[in-house]
């Protein structure tokens, strides 16, 4: 009876009316379908543009136009210090100290930089544990770094597979594998949320197990940042990287996020690849020999801030600060739960492979179609439901809570009912 009531426009509208974040929808541009806003469930791939983004970019264009090089010091938001804008909002989202986080480069580049500091194999400790089916860029990064150290990836990289016949990884399996390789383990590197299944791993337990084994714990948080609040500092995570173009709405190819725990950020002796932007600001322009790292994550910066690339993210983070990551998460649990309950009413031949427990997932639900998934996805797109398809057989739906409504989820259900 309760589920029947939920499958109604009235129920969805009443949820929207009670939603403290409903007003944020108006702050975004939506792709159009037949003259109306499409149903956008693809924020796990590319977030939407905030309406404040064009003005944010325009501001930098104007300051460049009118001040040229002086803009580094005199722009309305001086470019020399541009990256400082991100420390406060990102520390709230990622659960860390402001000094522990920065933005620079892109995710995979930042992963490579972190690996220079946190993967320093020796004869005894040279193994890396990762999840099987990790995002390909992470696989390529690890494979090539291991080779760069003269090691064989087949020996040095241990991939954890789900138990036979299953799609999800049990925490126990991960912890057992870490324990099994404890004598040779250098690093555990996992995606916080697996991009394919949508499974959110037990980050504190896995980080603690890596440390107990004498290894570092690093995380690719591409699908976590702005989706699930985390506590990187308190969980003692060594390093983490993420992109800003998914839930954080920084735009295509937006600048990547980088976190390093303060015990490394405060230690100038931690090895790294350097450039002048990571050098102490007091001596940066003296143009002298001898790299003196800035404190915190900023000590890993290499090059001049890419202001145009960062302006959209800055505009979006203003909305995150207003909404608050905790409130966003509360809505997200409800919204994805609502989507899940309506999916259960459909007759389409799929299985939701994302965990049913909200604590083990973010906004995304992955629908596995044993056959025909690609065609069904194409049909959804034709009907103005924007989501994506990942081989093999998975349609990913991610109602991002900042701009998706309960009525969007209901409209989605209405369309799919007729498939
Ligand atoms: C989980 C994950 N890791 C890594 C990447 C690659 O990021 P980038 O292209 O910014 O290096 C992506 C991109 O979508 C991703 O989803």
Beta bridge mates, 159: 130
Radius of gyration of the chain (CA): 22
Domain boundary among 268, 292, 320: 320
| pLDDT, tens digit, 9 for 90 and up, residues 223-275 | 999 999 999 999 999 999 999 999 999 999 999 999 999 999 999 999 999 99
Out of 107, 111, 200, mutate this one to test ligand 1's pocket (max ligand atoms within 8 Å of CB): namely 107
Cis check for the bond before 321: say yes or no (omega within 30 of 0). no
Its pTM surpasses 0.75 = yes
The predicted pLDDT at position 1 comes to: 42
In a domain? residue 30:
yes
The dihedrals phi and psi of 364, each to the nearest 5 degrees, come to -80, 140
Residues 159 and 244 placed together within one structural domain of the fold: yes
Residues 129 and 14 placed together within one structural domain of the fold: no
Kindly report the CATH number assigned to the domain that includes residue 273. 3.40.640.10
Domain boundary among 320, 344, 372: 320
The predicted pLDDT at position 287 comes to: 79
Residues 107 and 214 placed together within one structural domain of the fold: yes
- Cα four-point dihedral sign 210, 211, 216, 220: positive
pLDDT at 195 over 60: yes
Domain boundary among 268, 287, 320: 320
pLDDT at 4 over 70: no
Residues 6+ apart with CB under 8 A from 208: 236
Q: How far, in Å, is the centroid of ligand 1 from the Cα of 191?
A: 10
The domain in which residue 261 lies consists of: 77-320
pLDDT at 285 over 90: no
How large a percentage of the chain has pLDDT more than 90?
A: 96
Residues 6+ apart with CB under 8 A from 262: 97, 99, 100, 233, 296
| 243 CA: nearest ligand 1 atom | 10
The predicted pLDDT at position 3 comes to: 54
pLDDT at 188 over 90: yes
Residues 287 and 183 placed together within one structural domain of the fold: yes
Q: How far, in Å, is the centroid of ligand 1 from the Cα of 108?
A: 7
The predicted pLDDT at position 119 comes to: 98
Q: Work out the mean pLDDT of the chain and round it to a whole number.
A: 97
Write down the H helix ranges in 181-323: 203-212, 262-265, 281-284, 307-323
Give the single-character DSSP code of 163. Answer: S
In a domain? residue 68:
no
| CA-to-CA dists, residue 418 to 345, 347, 382, angstroms | 12, 10, 13
Beta bridge mates, 131: 160
Kindly report the CATH number assigned to the domain that includes residue 380. 3.90.1150.10
Residues 171 and 37 placed together within one structural domain of the fold: no
In a domain? residue 165:
yes
> Structural domain tally of the chain?
2
In a domain? residue 350:
yes
| pLDDT, tens digit, 9 for 90 and up, residues 101-126 | 999 999 999 999 999 999 999 999 99
User: Which among 99, 89, 178 is positioned nearest to 131, based on CA atoms?
Assistant: 178
């Amino acid at each position: 009876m309760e589920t029947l009531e939920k499958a109604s426009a009235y129920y969805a509208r009443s949820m929207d009316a009670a939603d403290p974040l409903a007003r944020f929808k108006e702050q975004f541009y939506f792709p159009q379908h037949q003259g109306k806003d499409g149903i956008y469930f693809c924020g796990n791939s590319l977030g939407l543009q905030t309406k404040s983004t064009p003005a944010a970019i325009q501001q930098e264009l104007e300051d460049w136009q009118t001040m040229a090089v002086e803009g580094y010091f005199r722009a309305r938001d001086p470019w020399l210090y541009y990256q400082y804008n991100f420390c406060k909002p990102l520390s709230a989202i990622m659960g860390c100290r402001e000094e522990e986080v920065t933005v620079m480069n892109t995710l995979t580049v930042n992963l490579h930089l972190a690996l220079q500091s946190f993967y320093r194999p020796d004869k005894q400790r040279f193994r890396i544990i990762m999840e099987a089916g990790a995002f390909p860029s992470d696989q390529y990064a690890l494979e090539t770094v291991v080779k760069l150290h003269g090691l064989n990836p087949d020996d040095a990289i241990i991939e954890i597979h789900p138990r036979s016949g299953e799609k999800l990884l049990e925490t126990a399996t991960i912890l057992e594998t870490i324990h099994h390789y404890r004598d040779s383990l250098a690093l555990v590197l996992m995606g916080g949320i697996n991009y394919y299944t949508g499974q959110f791993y037990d980050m504190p337990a896995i980080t603690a197990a890596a440390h107990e084994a004498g290894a570092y714990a690093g995380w690719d948080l591409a699908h976590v940042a702005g989706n699930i609040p985390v506590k990187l500092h308190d969980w003692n995570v060594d390093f983490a990287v993420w992109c800003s173009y998914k839930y954080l709405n920084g735009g295509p190819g937006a600048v990547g996020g980088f976190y390093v725990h303060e015990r490394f950020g405060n230690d100038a002796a931690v090895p790294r690849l350097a450039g002048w932007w990571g050098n102490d600001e007091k001596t940066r322009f003296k143009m002298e020999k001898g790299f003196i790292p800035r404190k915190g994550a900023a000590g890993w910066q290499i090059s001049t801030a890419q202001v145009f690339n960062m302006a959209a993210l800055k505009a979006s983070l203003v909305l995150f600060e207003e909404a608050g990551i905790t409130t966003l998460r509360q809505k997200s649990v409800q919204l994805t739960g609502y989507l899940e309950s309506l999916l259960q009413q459909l007759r389409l031949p799929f299985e939701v492979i994302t965990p049913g427990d909200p604590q083990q997932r973010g906004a995304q639900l992955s629908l596995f179609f044993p056959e025909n998934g690609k065609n069904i996805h194409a049909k959804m797109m034709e009907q103005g439901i924007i989501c994506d398809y990942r081989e093999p057989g998975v349609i990913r739906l991610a109602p991002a809570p900042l701009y998706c409504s309960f009525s969007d989820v209901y409209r989605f259900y209405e369309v799919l009912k007729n498939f």
